[in-house]
Amino acid sequence: KFLGHVVNVQLIAVDVHAGFGRHEIRQVMKDCKDKEKKEMWIFLDEVNTSPDIGWFKELICDHSLDGVKISDQIKIIAGCNPYQPRIQNSEVMNLSDPSSKWMYRVVPLCDTMKEYVWPFGHCSNVLFFIQCRQLTKQIKDKFNNNAVIYKKIQQWELKIIRDIDASQRFLRKCLNFFYWLMQQYETILENDIQSSWTGRALNIALGLCYYFRLDKRGRTMYNNLMYQRKGRSFSELLNTEINNLSKSFKIPAK
């Protein structure tokens, strides 16, 4: 995005992992064709999460779509998730599924695509912290800066970044859900400054978007980490929220 702004080129980002298929890509390319007098970049994010990788190979390597060449004004760029081996664990390994050996859900790249791969390496801890802080700031800035909810998130900003000890994708999911939960209580927080909802909302978001995706070993490690910080294991905090939710259900009489 920044490079596109610098050279004044429009960039269209396509989240392949979110379920973009052939129909959606064809529509994107059709829209681009109407504007092809100007240079345009199409960024296919997490392209190696799609089982339709051979079709994307045609776009990236052959610069064609369904056998038809696309304009030279349209530049195709793609991002891949890393092929990071998962820690061997019988609880999560599925011998009939080759993809289960990877930390991320990825499919093998076509041999032709491998010629185009450029490894950028891993993000440093400092850079990751900066990125996390920026994402948290984006969530905070969606609220009025004079509102109680804005100040609550500001107070918790560093804690949010520290507790979501995960990849940027998980961080983004957690923050988006955390934002939605905070929205639901916005009026209540304005009238009750002492409300503990901010911490509870963070625990719920962490549980649904991160903790439940961990295997047994990962949950144990995260519980130990949170116990050192809070004096309570994360599973205990999460069980409290599960019990609160269960009590809110009305069970019909038999």
CB 161 within 8 A of CB 133: yes
Q: Where in the chain are all domains bearing CATH 3.40.50? A: 2-114
Residues 136-161, buried b or exposed e (16+ Cβ, 10 A)? beebbeebeeeebbbebbeebbeebb
Q: How far apart are CA 156 and CA 34, in angstroms?
A: 46
**pLDDT for the residue numbered 86:** 62
**pLDDT for the residue numbered 102:** 59
**pLDDT for the residue numbered 105:** 73
Phi and psi (nearest 5°) for 123? -70, 135
Sign, Cα dihedral of 19, 20, 21, 24: positive
CB 197 within 8 A of CB 188: yes
**pLDDT for the residue numbered 78:** 92
- pLDDT tens-digit series, residues 217-253: 888 988 888 888 778 888 998 999 999 888 888 878 7
DSSP result, the chain: -HHHHHTT-EEEEEEGGGT--HHHHHHHHHHHHTTTTS-EEEEEETGGG-TTHHHHHIIIII-EETTEEPPTTEEEEE-----PBPPP-TTT--TT-GGGGBSS---PPPHHHHTT-----PPPHHHHHHHHHHHHHHHHTTS-TTSHHHHHHHHHHHHHHHH--S-HHHHHHHHHHHHHHHHHTHHHHHH-TT--HHHHHHHHHHHHHTGGGS-HHHHHHHHHHHHHHHSS-HHHHHHHHHHHHHHTS-PPP-
- Beta-sheet pairing, 64-65 with 68-69: antiparallel
CB 201 within 8 A of CB 169: no
**pLDDT for the residue numbered 98:** 59
Q: How far apart are CA 76 and CA 44, in angstroms?
A: 8
CATH of domain 2-114: 3.40.50
Order of strands across the sheet with 74-78?
A: 10-15, 40-45, 74-78
**pLDDT for the residue numbered 167:** 66
**Looking at the DSSP assignment, which residues form a beta bridge with residue 102?**
85
Please give the model's pTM, rounded to 2 decimal places.
Answer: 0.60
- pLDDT tens-digit series, residues 83-105: 777 655 545 555 555 556 656 67
Sign, Cα dihedral of 234, 237, 243, 247: negative
What stretches in the chain show pLDDT beneath 50?
A: 90
Q: Output the CA–CA distances (angstroms, integers) from residue 86 to 173, 179, 182, 232, in the order listed.
A: 21, 30, 34, 28
Smallest CA-to-CA distance from 214 within 168, 170, 162, 245 is with 170
